[in-house]
Amino acid sequence: MQLKPIIRAIPDIMRYKPENLYDVRKHLADFETFKLANKRRKSLVRFLRKYRSNDLDLIKALENCSPKHPCRTLACPRCMRKLRIWLFDQVVPLITEAPRRWFFVTVIFEEHRYQRGELHKFDPKKLIERFRAALRKVGIEHIVAFGGLDYCEETRMQDFNSSPTYTWCVHTHHLVYVSDEKAEELRRILRERFRDSPYARRPVQFARHKADKYTIFQATSYCVKSVYNSAIVARSPSGQSARKKGRKRLHGKSQAELAAFQARQNLGDRVLLVGLKRNQKSIIRTRTTPTITAAGFKAISYLNVPIRKWDDFSSIV
């Protein structure tokens, strides 16, 4: 198979310094350290050498990635850590303006399941378009959303003794700002469009976001992850239902496959923005929502996180 060129998709934010209030390293105790991200980069190089030895461009890029010359691919744990630190600083101020108005929405796309080794068949644009089509039905102009794609590899066994099959299950996590009235409509439309199936029992999860600082950082982290999991699914002894047996880190072979795929993606295939857009080193609004309500202000004082002044978003387009 002909390999597409790798893409330097991460913007030039490697020296970006977040404000203290929005610096994830100060708020999430388990946020990956530089040391851990670097260790993950090194083990990814080992997995690529073992399972994807023909992907020399990517192996070289990751191997040569250094603070001075970052590779800026979406596959690199060290550059992704930098991207995530930058994203928190851009997104958390928006959420803290009116934290009770945000919903956490997860959608599982039943049609986007790929056998291990076939992830290259996946086109993120199709999935993103399907989600945006649901938003358009509600009126996309009422919505501000930030989200990202999540890749879970399902290890499925007919029973605990049979040999497993491995399937990529692509899904998305979003933080969605929408009025209460429109939220109900959005929930209904998503549930109509993403129905229960044997492979996705609750394909739409839709919950009001908790307005405490820890949850805001945690949810933002969940939208654009740095580590992906493998979920083990097996039939119950009665054969009636699938049950989850646990989660673990992806197998090295899958980590290599995912890295090879993500290194060839643009940022827009990984991070979803609605009512927002990236303008060089900032994420800016593309419309003048959200409206800050009295309830929003109350929540903010509870959070003790000052909002940025509206003027800080002077580049609104």
Binding site for Zn ion (CB under 5 A): 65, 70-71, 76, 78-79
User: What residues contact 63, with CB distance under 8 A and at least 6 apart?
Assistant: 45
Shortest Cβ 315–Zn ion spacing (Å): 28
Shortest Cβ 170–Zn ion spacing (Å): 23
Nearer to Zn ion, 76 or 178 (CB): 76
Nearer to Zn ion, 77 or 275 (CB): 77
Nearer to Zn ion, 76 or 149 (CB): 76
Shortest Cβ 70–Zn ion spacing (Å): 5
Nearest-CB residue for Zn ion? 76
Amino acid in the structure at residue 267 = L
Nearer to Zn ion, 70 or 296 (CB): 70
Tokens coding 155: 């290890």
Nearer to Zn ion, 8 or 308 (CB): 8
Shortest Cβ 281–Zn ion spacing (Å): 18
Shortest Cβ 39–Zn ion spacing (Å): 13
Distance between CA atoms of residues 296 and 316, nearest Å: 21
Q: Is 64 helix (H, G, I), strand (E, B) or coil?
A: helix
How many CB atoms sit inside 10 A of residue 255's CB? 24
